[in-house]
Amino acid sequence: PRYCIWVTDENKDEAIKIKFIADRIEKCRMFRENGGVVARQHAHLSHRFRTQPHQETQAIIFPKTSSSRREYIPAGYLNKDTVISEKALASYDAEPYVFGVLSSKMHMAWLSITSSRMRNDFQYSVQLTYNTFPFPPISTQRKNEITQAVFRILEEREKHSDKTLAQLYDPDKMPKGLREAHRQNDEIIEKCYRSTPFTSDEERLEYLFKLYEKMIAEENEAGTLFAKEKKTRKNRK
């Protein structure tokens, strides 16, 4: 991990009493004042990062860029004291089962056709991948089953704490126990869609696209009904 000076509006007055921090803030202000249009717009907020997506709560973190060789996105957990860099994305205060959904072959299949590419790597998009991913409503019992699968994944990772996530998720070197934990997670995730397992990514995508089309149709229908109701009310005036 890298370290940063994290100053909020609430603790700014206290922070600038420390000369080292005050000097850093002043240098940041001068740098921004001599920068481009966007930088100058943030010169008066030189105690803060220009963008502040951080929330003081636990987060599920996953990389913006991930190798297309990987079978799964190497998601992780971070506590509230960790600020996520621009090279990663986070789902704040999410239920544990979301980790399992993001770490599934269903989600990976969707990612493969909705993300952009940088050479052979996937560039994860919140708008195009995360927000559009078709996932059906599930019961509390099913959420609990996925959560237990997530715990198994994390336990298997802990057995190899001397290795990085990049090493653990290299498809040629992935530990058998971790691969099995993911297989169990996939099995539960796929039961959220249908009772029979999928045999290929092509089959997964075919099902996901049909579900996506259904979602869009339902949204359009809801919009049409709303528009009709609005028009009816207007005519009554």
Same domain, residue pair 102 and 44: no
Q: Write the pLDDT tens digit of every residue in 139-167.
A: 999 999 999 999 999 999 999 999 999 99
Q: How many domains does the chain have?
A: 2
pLDDT confidence band for 231 (50 / 70 / 90): very low
Phi, psi at residue 167, to the nearest 5°?
A: -70, -40
Say whether pLDDT at 226 is over 60. Answer: no
Query: Can you tell me the distance from the alpha carbon of 224 to that of 232, in angstroms, rounded to the nearest whole number?
Result: 12
Same domain, residue pair 110 and 204: yes
Tell me if 86 is assigned to some domain: no
Domain membership of residue 174 as a residue range: 95-117+125-215
DSSP letters for 107-122? HHHHHHHHSEEETTEE
Tell me if 225 is assigned to some domain: no
Tell me if 71 is assigned to some domain: no
Asked if residue 114 lies in contact with residue 123, where contact means CB atoms within 8 angstroms, the answer is: no
Say whether pLDDT at 232 is over 70. Answer: no
Tell me if 79 is assigned to some domain: no
Same domain, residue pair 106 and 179: yes
Say whether pLDDT at 174 is over 50. Answer: yes
Same domain, residue pair 47 and 101: no
Query: Can you tell me the distance from the alpha carbon of 218 to that of 209, in angstroms, rounded to the nearest whole number?
Result: 14
Question: Using N-to-C axis directions, what is the helix angle for 176-191 and 140-158, rounded to 10°?
Answer: 170
DSSP letters for 60-103? EEEESEEETT-SS---EEE-TT----TTEEEEET--THHHHHHT
pTM for the predicted model, two decimal places? 0.75
Q: What is the share, in percent, of the chain residues with pLDDT greater than 90? A: 47
Say whether pLDDT at 234 is over 60. Answer: no
